Chains A and B, each alone.
Chain A
Amino acid sequence: MKSLKRTISTVATVAFAAVAHADVGGDATRGEDLYRQCSSCHQIGAGAVDRVGPQLNGIFDRAAGQSEGFRYSDGMERAAMGGLVWTYDSLDAYIEDPRSLVSQTRMSFRGFDDQQDRDDVLAYLRLFSANPQDIPESAPTAVAVDHEIAPEILAIVGDPAYGEYLSGECTACHQTSGAANGIPSITHWPSEDFVIAMHAYKDGVRLHPVMQMMAGRLSNEEIAALAAYFADIE
């Protein structure tokens, strides 16, 4: 699989060499490594679907806010209405500092400061945009977080009313508007991703001390209730 991607990477580099700014020095293999920072929210590759963030196949030259069925932030909706299209330059600006390009985006990512990192990630992303038929037949990238929890925990149906009460503990930091600025957005996540993430904190797999403390005393039912509340919050 790696060799196939490398091959495609080479092809892509040649194919886009003439485009201004495109893929100058971008190393898709390195970009694939860097993309692990993105993959907890964004799937890419064959069978990729929207999760916490929209799937990213065919992102190049797609108008912003167009992954069908994904609930975008108001900020992204506004940017889309304003005609934002994902070109190399706009993607470059977005992954450098998401909130400076799209204020109030829910994307909780501080950005890649380094131009080489951005070039490499974009080279990797481009593999899945250049020619759809070339999308590698790999499984979609990492699903939610690397943490396994029992199916019966995932099957718990949460009570959103209880979740609303419990959410008071979350909203001292996380904004119900979905605005993210140093504290991630937790609104409109697929419930499963929310539950997995919270159990990852509870079980000490995710390492944030505040979240480990908060998740540590939530029962399975309480986590499900919070997931249900935040998934459909207005």
Chain B
Amino acid sequence: MKTVRIGAGLGFYGDSWRPVAASIERGGVRYIGSDHLAELTLAILQKDRMKDPAAGYTRDLVPMLASLWPLAQKHGVRFVLNAGGLNPEGARDALAAEFARRGWKARIATVTGDSVMERIDALRAAGEPLAHMDTGAPIDGVREKLLFASAYLGAKPLVEALATGADIVLSGRVADAALFLAPLIHEFGWSLGGNDSDYSRLAQGLTVGHLLECSGQGSGGNFNSYLANGWESVPDLAHIGYPIAEVREDGTAVITKAPGTGGRVDFDTVRQQLLYEVHNPHAYFSPDVVLDMGTLSLKDLGGDRVEVSGATGRPRPSMLKIVAGYQDGWAGTAQIGYSWPGAMKKARASAAIIEAQLRESGLRYDEIHTEFLGYNSLLGPLADDARLDEINEVYLRMVVRSQDRRLAEAFPRQFPWLALSGPPTASGFSGIEPARQLLGLWPTLVRRELVEPQVKISVTETLA
């Protein structure tokens, strides 16, 4: 039976592409799927684009492909990447210019039409409420503060882009797993729906994509286990190999990684990724199929190989998910450290002094968040306060929320005087940092037929 090997690219904007080279060189992959867009990344890209209309894509795209292309070309590897962000055509232009400069020939297909930011009013007029998926709140309350709005497209346009013979497919927002499902549909000619076995194959393909979309998290990275075979026993994280899937035509797959790389692919590392950021595991929604993980079987074959089989699928939903982001005020932050003796007592006293001064000076904030780095900044109320009196050092971190940028900016200015006139041993003040913009997310649904007709594929050849 035909087998296709597909490898994980980046798991987020800023991830390392060094392990991808090993997958190409020694992993026998034909495709690399690369996920550059977390839920919030489009907000960062929107800020870039407001400064420069040619920007709005993830800037790691060009150096990543400049580094990997010679190897990829040698091994006949194709890329599917959502690095286009809010501006897939801008991404394509930048990439094509770089390839031309280096004298490299490549065919690049670009998928556009996921962004609905310019069409919010048209969608409302077409009868879409665009209410918040979880709270049901109407969108009018945030309409003027929206920064971006993009629909999660499925695998279909990516499959069409691959069918043009493209070496590199660039998209904006697509379902993360679609970056991996698309090459499988393209290679095997899987039907996009009709009967149960079609849905099972798509469900297997979606599972493979889900296991690969977070790069090293699928092969022993961030392995949150403290048992005998826990994170400390995972070999050579410095040279981790990103996960690779060997997929058969019937959809069954083996997850593995390139020989000679670090990390570990076994029952435990794979199941930890399988449930990552999944809510109801019996109804994992994607634009292409609804996956039930309850029937899945993971079989550890040894030697960094885990077989995945048995996923079941149901027909795709009639609606696509949109995630929009809106401006939601500003945060002002300050951080200051205290050493033993009595580090916590001193840090708490400083927090109380700051709060008292805010009341006296009339500086009003929507919220004041206080935490102590080294004690409870990561575990919150679940931090254990045993031996806290003897703690070596602790940093007080206070963050305020305000709708007024200047007010947020004023907050860290309340701190420096503490150095000479507050509790003793104040050190390591974080400085007067600019306020940080806060964003709210607006998940909502839209009928497919209002988005899909806008989706376009264009093809460019470098050195044509």
Does A pair with B? no
Q: Which residues of B contact A (CB under 8 A)?
A: none
Q: Which residues of A contact B (CB under 8 A)?
A: none
